[in-house]
């Protein structure tokens, strides 16, 4: 399973004047009229008012879906890795509690800071950095994207990051940020290669990533869990880099980049002969096909955010959210 694959079908890829220019603006000069195409013109991805409205719309839909355990209620507002993670969570919740989420606590996002990059072409996107009423004191980083002017803004990435780890972004005189191309040179790792580099690190180790919970600690945990009495665990990690899973990066004030990217994971648990795999939780059972006897394979998606320094150096993983999306018993 070394070839990159998508776990589901990939979806399609500040003012009224700005909106008009995004499609194609006609500006008349002394020599005539010039067509300015949105796919080539470097423009802010959204107006600040539009971004603020998108955050509120997502939060409202997310709360309705969480309360009812109904993934259809926020499906139009999510995409990419977060859609996979959130959709599976809601599916499991509905299986185990068809009447809804008795423990629902509405998500409230405050102190919302919007960062909108200027860029050419689609998708357009922006980052919302907010304080949530869940997840302790961590900041919620949400990446909103859309593939054309007629689409709704959707959350592709949602990660939790310690306040001290949220970097300062490079901005121009008007307050617009800089989007870093996926194939940008001058960084410790190209954003386009970060997903592949990370799964390679999980398998082989190396010195490309700084030590931390999502790197050295995770590798140590896997080594410890690989062989327990009567149970063997095997791990397979794959990059996801295309379509709605493509990495997105913002230039930081120090010349580096904050990169959001996706990975795809499998964990296979195999019991010794004459024994069976320990019974999984109800949430896992709700996403499991087949009968669990000798083995259980867990499939998951993770969205990550990393600080990619300028020049040479180690990439620092700032946040990682991994969610079970499917399981198979044998």
Task: Please report the pLDDT score of residue 135 as a whole number.
Answer: 84
In whole angstroms, give the CA distance from residue 239 to residue 242: 9
The count of other CB atoms within 10 Å of the CB of residue 179 is 23
Provide DSSP, 197-218: HHHHHHHH--SSB--STTTHHH
Helix ranges (H only) for the chain are 16-23, 48-68, 80-96, 194-204, 216-226, 282-286
Calculate the alpha carbon distances from 6 to 84, 147, 183, 190 in Å: 11, 18, 21, 21
pLDDT level of residue 188 (50, 70, 90 thresholds): very high
pLDDT level of residue 133 (50, 70, 90 thresholds): very high
Calculate the alpha carbon distances from 296 to 49, 269, 274 in Å: 47, 5, 15
Domain extent listing, the chain: 16-329
Task: Please report the pLDDT score of residue 40 as a whole number.
Answer: 66
In whole angstroms, give the CA distance from residue 186 to residue 207: 18
In whole angstroms, give the CA distance from residue 100 to residue 150: 32
Residue-wise over 34-60: b if at least 16 C-beta within 10 A, else e? Answer: eeeebeeeebbbbbeebbeebbebbbe
Give residue for tokens 């121009």: 172
Task: Please report the pLDDT score of residue 41 as a whole number.
Answer: 82
Does pLDDT of 21 surpass 90?
no
Does pLDDT of 18 surpass 50?
no
Task: Please report the pLDDT score of residue 202 as a whole number.
Answer: 98
Q: What confidence tens digit (pLDDT) does each residue in 261-317 have?
A: 999 999 999 999 988 899 999 999 999 999 999 999 999 999 999 999 999 999 999
Provide DSSP, 292-330: -SSEEEEEEEEEEEEEE-BSSS-BEEEEEEEEEEEEEE-
Task: Decide if 288 contacts 280 (C-beta within 8 A).
Answer: yes
Q: Tokens representing 176?
A: 């617009």
Task: Please report the pLDDT score of residue 274 as a whole number.
Answer: 87
Lowest average pLDDT, out of 18-27, 43-52, 145-154, 232-241, goes to 18-27
Query: Phi/psi of residue 61, each to 5°?
Result: -65, -40
């Amino acid at each position: 399973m070394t070839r990159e694959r998508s776990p589901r079908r990939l979806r399609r890829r500040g003012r009224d004047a700005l909106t008009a220019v995004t499609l194609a603006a006609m500006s008349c000069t002394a020599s005539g009229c010039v067509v300015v195409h949105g796919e080539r013109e470097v423009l802010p991805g959204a107006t600040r008012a539009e971004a603020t409205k998108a955050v509120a719309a997502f939060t409202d839909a997310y709360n309705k879906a969480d309360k009812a355990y109904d993934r259809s209620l926020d499906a139009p507002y999510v995409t990419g890795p977060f859609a996979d993670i959130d959709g599976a969570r809601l599916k499991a919740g509905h299986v185990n509690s068809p009447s809804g989420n008795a423990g629902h606590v509405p998500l409230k996002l405050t102190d919302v800071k919007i960062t909108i990059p200027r860029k050419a072409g689609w998708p357009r996107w922006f980052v919302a950095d907010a304080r949530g009423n869940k997840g302790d004191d961590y900041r919620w980083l949400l990446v909103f994207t859309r593939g054309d002017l007629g689409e709704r803004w959707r959350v592709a990435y949602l990660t939790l990051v310690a306040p001290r780890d949220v970097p300062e972004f490079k901005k121009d005189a008007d307050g617009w940020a800089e989007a870093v191309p996926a194939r940008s040179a001058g960084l410790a790792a190209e954003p386009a290669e970060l997903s592949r580099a990370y799964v390679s690190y999980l398998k082989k180790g190396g010195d490309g990533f700084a030590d931390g919970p999502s790197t050295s600690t995770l590798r140590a945990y896997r080594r410890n869990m690989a062989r327990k009495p009567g149970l063997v665990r095997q791990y397979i990690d794959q990059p996801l880099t295309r379509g709605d899973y493509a990495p997105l990066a913002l230039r930081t004030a120090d010349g580096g980049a904050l990169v959001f990217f996706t990975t795809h994971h499998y964990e296979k648990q195999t019991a010794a002969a004459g024994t069976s795999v320990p019974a999984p939780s109800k949430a896992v059972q709700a996403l499991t096909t087949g009968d669990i006897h000798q083995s259980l394979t867990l499939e998951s998606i993770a969205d990550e955010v990393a600080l990619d320094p300028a020049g040479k150096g180690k990439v620092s993983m700032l946040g990682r959210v991994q969610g079970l999306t499917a399981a198979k018993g044998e």
